[in-house]
Amino acid sequence: MAYSKNSTASGLKPKNKLRRQAAFLSIKKARESDKRDARLRRKREEDKDPSLRETRLAQNKPTTIDAKRVWDEPVGDEEDALGWAIDVERLAKRRKSEQEEAEKTGEHGAENADGEEEEGVLAKLKKLDQATKGQGALDDEVDDEADSMLDSEDSELDSDSDLGSDIASSRKRPANRASSPSATSTATNMELSPEFLKKKFPQIFDTQVEEPKILITTSLNSTLHKEAEIFTSLFPNSTYIRRSKNFHAHKYSVREIASFASARGFTALVIVMQAHHKKEIDGIDIIPLPSGPHVHFSVSNWIEGRKLPRHANDSGHYPELILNQFKTPLGILTAHLFKNLFPAKPELEGRQVLTLHNQRDYIFVRRHRYVFRDKRESEKPILGTDGKPIPGVEDVKVGMQEIGPRMTLKLRRIDRGIQHKSGQEWQWKGRMDKQRTRFNL
């Protein structure tokens, strides 16, 4: 069969290899040309009508794993609430809306009762005649009204009850999942702390220390003295004491160190853990004094500040603390744990900020120094979460310089008291991350 250009257009593949390559290149060239023409045509239309570009960008948002995040339906007792992947902020909003609906229905019922009292005798007689004519239908209506009254009473009781009863009532609702709250920022709302967390961990939620005092030490026979000294610059008002004087000295247990530190006014104990066969940092333990809980994090991607390109030096000021995307009860507990390690009043003149950003159960720790400056003509303005410039700061830009250290944390275990033998409130287990759209923090 003779080769022709129409054979490739009709779907026939040439037998000759060179002609197949040429045909493929011509098809690819035509396809790219059509895409380029469509792109330029769309650009000309969007330049004439900018609303078309806004509509296209609003529809063409990329679908990420974070956007596909799923939430659990709370089932069981509050004792297991640390394992629930529920959004505390969304649950509080739903509970508030249910209370408002219950109040509105109560006011509406009171208005109906007042209207019935104001009715005349003639109207009551007419209602009585209608009632005698349709007694059977009335019985059905009475049953329906009784059911609705029972439902309303249950909803009122659920709205006034604690988190556990509200969770039980929410399971009776339709299975349609509600969308995540459209927050203006990713900052964690520290005021939304469930009551069962406050009762179970009073040492974390009830303590309000203006000036925390932290004792830092290492694991047994550790050589991470330099890394422990770096942690003293990260946590304000912290002191590093070696675990033992030498290899043959007495090995103090964590309980002995905790009692020693608590008697001397320390509010928290931080233990820098070393890997078994490497001289590298493997994890950190944070223990609120005097009685815990004992929280263990694994550490990865550790980089000292002096190894960061164009790094800044620590000035010793109290940093501002930013806690991002801690949404579940376990995340709220973790956020309060780190909050208690830093003074409540940062020194703003130092312009230092420490960020703990939670994403897919990994906590990224970064420390920066920032400066405000005027925006150059070639730079873009600061955009909000909606993709539009923030009013009032169109001519302002922020310059940042990382101080360090840089590391990534992952929550592994929460003990009831001090050390592992006290029992576990929560523990990361293997294959917990098998479902890639469900996260614990």
Residues 6 or more apart whose Cβ sits within 8 Å of residue 71 = 85, 86, 87, 90, 177
SS3 278: coil
The answer to whether residues 423 and 299 touch, using CB atoms and an 8 Å cutoff, is no
Nearest to 356 by CA among 275, 400, 410: 410
Can you give the residue ranges of every domain in the chain?
A: 5-59, 88-170, 195-427
The answer to whether residues 46 and 53 touch, using CB atoms and an 8 Å cutoff, is yes
Say which amino acid occupies 71.
W
Question: Distance between CA 213 and CA 268 in Å, rounded?
Answer: 7
In the numeric block, the tokens 């026979």 are attached to 221
Torsion angles phi and psi, residue 144, rounded to 5:
-65, -40
Question: Distance between CA 191 and CA 89 in Å, rounded?
Answer: 10
Helix axes 135-160, 121-133, angle to 10 degrees: 110
Q: What is the predicted pLDDT for the residue at 94?
A: 79
SS3 425: strand
Structure tokens at 320: 């501002």
Torsion angles phi and psi, residue 368, rounded to 5:
-130, 160
Beta bridge partners of 140: none
32: exposed, middle or buried (Cβ count in 10 Å: 0-12, 13-18, 19+): exposed
Q: What is the predicted pLDDT for the residue at 157?
A: 34
- CA angle 304–309–312, rounded 5-degree value: 70
Question: Distance between CA 203 and CA 158 in Å, rounded?
Answer: 29
Q: What is the predicted pLDDT for the residue at 77?
A: 66
SS3 363: strand
SS3 141: helix
Q: What is the predicted pLDDT for the residue at 130?
A: 58
The answer to whether residues 90 and 180 touch, using CB atoms and an 8 Å cutoff, is yes
Give, for all 441 residues of the chain, the pLDDT tens digit: 454 555 555 567 888 999 999 999 999 999 999 999 999 999 999 999 999 998 998 888 888 888 888 888 776 666 677 888 888 888 778 778 888 888 888 776 655 555 444 444 445 445 545 554 555 444 444 444 444 333 433 444 344 434 344 434 443 433 443 433 334 456 777 667 778 888 888 888 876 777 899 999 999 888 999 999 999 999 999 999 998 877 778 888 899 999 999 999 999 999 999 998 888 999 999 999 988 899 999 999 999 999 999 999 999 899 999 999 998 889 999 999 999 999 988 999 999 999 999 999 999 999 999 998 888 888 888 888 777 888 888 888 888 999 989 999 999 999 988 888 878 888 898 888 888 888 988
Q: What is the predicted pLDDT for the residue at 258?
A: 92
Question: Distance between CA 370 and CA 356 in Å, rounded?
Answer: 16
Q: pTM for the whole thing?
A: 0.71
In the numeric block, the tokens 């640390």 are attached to 82
The answer to whether residues 129 and 76 touch, using CB atoms and an 8 Å cutoff, is no
Residues 6 or more apart whose Cβ sits within 8 Å of residue 290 = 258, 259, 262
CATH architecture assigned to 195-427: 3-Layer(aba) Sandwich (3.40)
Structure tokens at 224: 């991470």
